[in-house]
């Protein structure tokens, strides 16, 4: 079996400035399925084709941004092993009890040097995608509601010590580097794309002036045509669009960057290529960032390196 | 926004102090929306949701009202008292002048160097 250890991104907890306005946005415009609310008034969502209970949690706050980003691992034994490996590498961890997030088992939580809180967990309740496990139809009505991505795909996080965060993901958690943007010195990485799977990235980091910043949470869409449909839906709903629709040179994915009602960037993303750990990394010298970011327009979008929540 | 409020919306002149650029902004739209809807420049355009701070301005003259919550990571009580606000979250009530204090800061070198 190929995908072992850390399997995939599992959840992002995002801070919003007006909970009901953003809950409505994620439910009706992005088209996620609301799956629960907890005693802390957090609102839980999943994309229609995800089977686990949630992949996005919204929390009311007076500051926008991201509280934590979590990955699902393949077993409780792996969770224990990775916690030990993190500790041996000098990364302090803490255990968050099962049930602190709805339908979720115990989580191992730690901070990476970019100031982000990362979590690992092995258990989250399978609530299904609305289709039976025997003889399922290919989609259900929820697949047509709003933008309707099929899954939460990855996040791009911003902070100062990109090198330190990258090393933990590569040296301890088993990720590999797929692509990088490199500064004029030919060495310093300005951004890195890291995979724990066959995806071009499961998490990415960009060097940012402040720590703990959210660049975007990305949602997967099946086709470029549906990315264009997402653009229509964004415009119909006055969603502030940052970049796109276009195609990234980096990862080759079709994309739109846009913002939720609290200024947290999200991406609707499609395509890319299948990646393997033995493949040579792809390098984008920073003078080619314009086409790395927006291959169609070859345009340097200054907001890519400057706008975070 | 009710129809009555929409009908009552007026256009007022907004001046960007640094450049002298002016534009007509509706009293029911944010200072930032009014600017970029007309293709004007001067205030950096970021998230447009109160979350990122690149559109932070100092209102140096004129009355304004807050339309949306602003991330308090970037707008302190002192900022609010002094008229330092996010242009995407406030609307003009009359002719206003703003000084741009938001920045498009980026970090393309190694941390600490």
On whether both A130 and A158 belong to a single domain, the answer is no
On whether both A215 and A248 belong to a single domain, the answer is yes
Average pLDDT over residues A29-39: 98
Determine, yes or no, domain membership for A115: yes
Q: What is the pLDDT of residues A3-18, one digit of tens each?
A: 899 999 999 999 999 9
Determine contact, residues A194/A204, Cβ cutoff 8 Å: yes
On whether both A11 and A159 belong to a single domain, the answer is no
Determine contact, residues B102/B56, Cβ cutoff 8 Å: yes
On whether both A68 and A170 belong to a single domain, the answer is no
Are the Cβ atoms of A207 and B108 closer than 8 angstroms? Answer: yes
Residues near A97 by Cβ (< 8 Å), separated by ≥ 6? A106
Structural domains of chain B, with CATH: 3-100 (3.10.20.30)
ipTM of the complex: 0.90
Q: What is the pLDDT of residues A212-233, one digit of tens each?
A: 999 999 999 999 999 999 999 9
On whether both A297 and A253 belong to a single domain, the answer is yes
Are the Cβ atoms of B108 and A18 closer than 8 angstroms? Answer: no
Q: Is the peptide bond before A245 cis (omega within 30 degrees of 0)?
A: yes
Q: What is the dihedral of CA A102, A107, A113, A114, to 10 degrees?
A: -20
The closest of B73, B95, A214, B94 to B86, measured between CA atoms, is B73
Q: How far is A135 from chain B (nearest CA, A)?
A: 44
Which residue among A62, A161, A263 sits closest to B111, beta carbon to beta carbon? A161
Whether B49 and chain A come into contact, CB under 8 Å, resolves to yes
Average pLDDT over residues A100-122: 98
On whether both A176 and A244 belong to a single domain, the answer is yes
Give the model's confidence band at A2: pLDDT under 50 very low, under 70 low, under 90 confident, else very high: confident
Residue in chain B closest to A260 (alpha carbons) equals B49
Percent of the residues in chain B that have a pLDDT greater than 70, as a whole number: 88
Q: Which residues of B touch A261 (CB under 8 A)?
A: 49
**Strands (DSSP E) found in chain B:** 11-16, 22-26, 56-61, 64-66, 84-86, 90-92, 96-100
On whether both A302 and A237 belong to a single domain, the answer is yes
Q: How confident is the prediction for chain A on average, in pLDDT?
A: 97
Q: What is the pLDDT of residues B71-95, one digit of tens each?
A: 999 999 999 999 999 999 999 999 9
Residue A233 CA: distances (Å) to CA of A34, A144, A222, A237, B29: 19, 12, 16, 6, 21
What's the total number of domains in chain A? 2
Residues near A122 by Cβ (< 8 Å), separated by ≥ 6? A72, A73, A74, A75, A76, A78, A79, A105, A106
Are the Cβ atoms of A240 and B49 closer than 8 angstroms? Answer: yes
Give the model's confidence band at A300: pLDDT under 50 very low, under 70 low, under 90 confident, else very high: confident
Give the model's pLDDT for residue B112: 39
Which residue among A63, A183, A260 sits closest to B109, beta carbon to beta carbon? A183
Domain boundary among A143, A167, A186: A143
Whether B111 and chain A come into contact, CB under 8 Å, resolves to yes
Bridge partners for A48 per DSSP: none
Determine contact, residues A106/A79, Cβ cutoff 8 Å: yes
Which residue among B47, B70, B88 sits closest to A265, beta carbon to beta carbon? B47
Give the model's confidence band at B2: pLDDT under 50 very low, under 70 low, under 90 confident, else very high: low
Report, as residue numbers or ranges, the catalytic residues of A: 154, 201, 216, 248, 257, 267
Give the model's pLDDT for residue A290: 95
H-helix or E-strand spanning residue A76: helix A76-88
Question: What is the CATH number for A280?
Answer: 3.10.180.10
- Look up the domain containing A26 and give its range: 6-143
On whether both A88 and A182 belong to a single domain, the answer is no
Q: How many CB atoms lie within 10 A of CB B106?
A: 17
Give the model's confidence band at B113: pLDDT under 50 very low, under 70 low, under 90 confident, else very high: very low
On whether both A19 and A133 belong to a single domain, the answer is yes
Determine, yes or no, domain membership for A1: no
Domain boundary among A92, A116, A143: A143
Residue A283 CA: distances (Å) to CA of A7, A155, A164, A183, A221: 25, 20, 19, 11, 26
Determine contact, residues A192/A164, Cβ cutoff 8 Å: no
Domain boundary among A93, A119, A143: A143
Average pLDDT over residues A84-98: 98
Are the Cβ atoms of B52 and A263 closer than 8 angstroms? Answer: yes
Give the model's pLDDT for residue B95: 97
Q: What is the pLDDT of residues A230-287, one digit of tens each?
A: 999 999 999 999 999 999 999 999 999 999 999 999 999 999 999 999 999 999 999 9
Whether B105 and chain A come into contact, CB under 8 Å, resolves to yes
Are the Cβ atoms of B73 and A303 closer than 8 angstroms? Answer: no
Q: What is the pLDDT of residues A162-198, one digit of tens each?
A: 999 999 999 999 999 999 999 999 999 999 999 999 9
Determine contact, residues A229/A253, Cβ cutoff 8 Å: no
Whether A186 and chain B come into contact, CB under 8 Å, resolves to no
**A1 has pLDDT over 80:** no
Determine, yes or no, domain membership for A203: yes
Whether B48 and chain A come into contact, CB under 8 Å, resolves to yes
On whether both A157 and A277 belong to a single domain, the answer is yes
**A138 has pLDDT over 50:** yes
On whether both A154 and A111 belong to a single domain, the answer is no
Which residue among B50, B72, B105 sits closest to A263, beta carbon to beta carbon? B50
On whether both A78 and A126 belong to a single domain, the answer is yes
């Amino acid at each position: 079996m190929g995908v072992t250890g850390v399997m995939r991104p599992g959840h992002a907890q995002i801070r919003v400035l007006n909970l009901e306005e953003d809950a409505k946005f994620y439910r009706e415009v992005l088209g996620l399925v609301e799956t629960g609310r907890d005693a802390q008034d957090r609102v839980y969502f999943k994309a229609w084709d995800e089977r686990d209970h949630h992949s996005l949690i919204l929390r009311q706050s007076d500051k926008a941004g991201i509280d934590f980003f979590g990955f699902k691992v393949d077993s409780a034994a792996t969770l224990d092993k990775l916690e030990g490996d993190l500790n041996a590498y000098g990364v302090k961890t803490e255990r968050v009890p099962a049930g602190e997030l709805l339908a979720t088992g115990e989580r191992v939580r730690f901070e990476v040097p970019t100031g982000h809180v990362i979590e690992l967990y092995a258990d989250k309740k399978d609530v299904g995608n609305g289709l039976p496990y025997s003889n399922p139809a290919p989609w259900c009505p929820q697949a047509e509601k709003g933008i309707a991505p099929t899954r939460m795909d990855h996040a791009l996080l911003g902070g100062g010590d990109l090198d330190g965060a990258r090393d933990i993901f590569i040296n301890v958690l088993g990720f590999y580097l797929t692509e990088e943007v490199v500064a004029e010195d030919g060495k310093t990485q300005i951004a890195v794309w890291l995979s724990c799977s066959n995806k071009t990235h499961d998490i990415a980091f960009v060097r940012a002036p402040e720590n703990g910043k959210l660049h975007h949470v990305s949602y997967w869409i099946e086709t470029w045509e549906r990315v264009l449909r997402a653009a229509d839906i964004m415009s119909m709903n006055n969603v502030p669009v940052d970049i796109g629709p276009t195609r990234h040179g980096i990862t080759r994915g079709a994309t739109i960057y846009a913002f939720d009602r609290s200024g947290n960037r999200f991406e609707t993303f499609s395509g890319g290529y299948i990646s393997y750990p033995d493949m040579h990394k792809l390098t984008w010298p920073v003078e080619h960032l314009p086409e790395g970011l927006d291959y169609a327009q070859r345009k340097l979008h200054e907001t890519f390196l400057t706008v975070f929540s | 926004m009710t129809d009555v409020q929409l009908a009552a919306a007026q256009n007022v002149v907004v001046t960007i102090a640094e450049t002298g650029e002016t534009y007509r902004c509706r009293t029911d739209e944010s200072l930032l929306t009014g600017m970029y809807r007309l293709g004007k420049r001067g205030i950096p355009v970021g998230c447009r949701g109160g979350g990122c701070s690149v559109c932070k301005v100092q209102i140096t003259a004129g009355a304004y009202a807050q339309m949306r919550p602003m991330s308090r990571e970037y707008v302190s009580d002192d900022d609010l008292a002094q008229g330092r606000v996010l242009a995407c979250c406030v609307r003009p009530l009359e002719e206003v002048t703003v000084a741009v204090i938001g920045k498009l800061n980026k970090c393309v070198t190694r941390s600490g160097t």
